[in-house]
Amino acid sequence: EAQVTQNPRYLITVTGKKLTVTCSQNMNHEYMSWYRQDPGLGLRQIYYSMNVEVTDKGDVPEGYKVSRKEKRNFPLILESPSPNQTSLYFCASSPAIVSNQPQHFGDGTRLSIL
Amino acid sequence: AQSVTQLGSHVSVSEGALVLLRCNYSSSVPPYLFWYVQYPNQGLQLLLKYTSAATLVKGINGFEAEFKKSETSFHLTKPSAHMSDAAEYFCAVSSMNRDDKIIFGKGTRLHILP
């Protein structure tokens, strides 16, 4: 089954404790992206990657890091999480950067930073 | 630059009534337009997309949307609402320009009244 898998689905942690949210897709997609979803703000893009070893900032990259060492994986790293990063996070992938291709989304990771 | 506006953060309709969710876009080039649905505790799923073919686009679950260039609109409709349609709906815009990333609206939560 074609899917985007995120882990963990839920995480409660404390300020300053480094964490990684993993994302993996099994569709051989070139393009992957991370979003955060906050009430009243919709989806905002954090980082995206057009292919292996190619990443770029989205609209709200501060406080986040990503890497793309393999085509299927695109982890999101919070080196020193803060309470304002409490949010619902989604990973998405699509066949290419070509913009008429829909994105496939994971089920989300709800992060709470205390 | 592109933008998308969804009118109404919450919409309530009675079961069996017409569903109309409004989306207006701004784009300096021909747009690609998408509607996504998000059910509770899930990621976004593609409902339908417009990529410059037919202006009336049919999607899954009985939804359709009509691209109206003169009104810069891409409203989502369904003739008869079902309880299972209760979800959050996102309109999104992109284009053939490589520099134009997909932009999501802030979302409309659809409530179905029994």
Confidence of residue B101 (pLDDT cuts 50, 70, 90): confident
CA A8 – CA A6 distance, rounded (Å) = 6
What does the pLDDT read at residue B1? 76
Searching chain A, which residue's CA lies closest to the CA of residue B40?
Answer: A107
Distances (CA, A) of B41 to A7, A89, B7, B11: 14, 12, 24, 20
Residues of A in contact with B100 (CB under 8 A): 99
Nearest Cα neighbor of B95 from B103, B87, B107 is: B103
Q: Are B47 and B35 in contact (CB under 8 A)?
A: yes
Poorest-confidence range of A22-36, B9-23, B41-55, B89-103?
B89-103
Q: Are B102 and A103 in contact (CB under 8 A)?
A: yes
Helices and strands per DSSP (H, E), number in chain A: 0, 11
Specify which residues A111 forms β-bridges with: A11, A87
Residues of A in contact with B97 (CB under 8 A): 99
Both tokens assigned to B10: 């919450």
Judge: B100–A99 Cβ closer than 8 Å, yes or no.
yes
Confidence of residue A98 (pLDDT cuts 50, 70, 90): low
Residue whose entry in the numeric block shows the structure tokens 């992206």: A33
What does the pLDDT read at residue A40? 85
Residues of B in contact with A106 (CB under 8 A): 43
B41 against A25, higher pLDDT: A25
Residues of B in contact with A48 (CB under 8 A): 101
Q: Are B103 and B94 in contact (CB under 8 A)?
A: yes
Residue whose entry in the numeric block shows the structure tokens 């569709």: A27
Phi, psi of A90 (to 5 degrees): -125, 135
What does the pLDDT read at residue A86? 97
Both tokens assigned to B57: 């686009």
What does the pLDDT read at residue B54? 85
Percentage of chain B beyond pLDDT 90 is: 77
Percentage of chain A beyond pLDDT 90 is: 83
Judge: A107–B45 Cβ closer than 8 Å, yes or no.
no
**pLDDT tens string A42-93:** 899 999 998 999 999 999 999 999 999 999 999 999 999 999 999 999 999 9
> How many contacts does A have with B, using Cβ atoms within 8 A?
54
Specify which residues A40 forms β-bridges with: none
Judge: B44–A90 Cβ closer than 8 Å, yes or no.
yes
Residues on A contacting B at a C-beta cutoff of 8 Å: 4, 35, 40-43, 45, 48, 58, 90, 92, 97-100, 102-103, 105-108
What does the pLDDT read at residue A97? 67
Instruction: Tell me how far apart the 2 most distant CA atoms of chain B are, in Å.
Output: 45
Q: What is the DSSP string of A11-54?
A: EEE-TT--EEEEEEESS--SEEEEEEEETTTEEEEEEEEEETTE
Average of per-residue pLDDT values in chain A: 94
Confidence of residue A18 (pLDDT cuts 50, 70, 90): very high
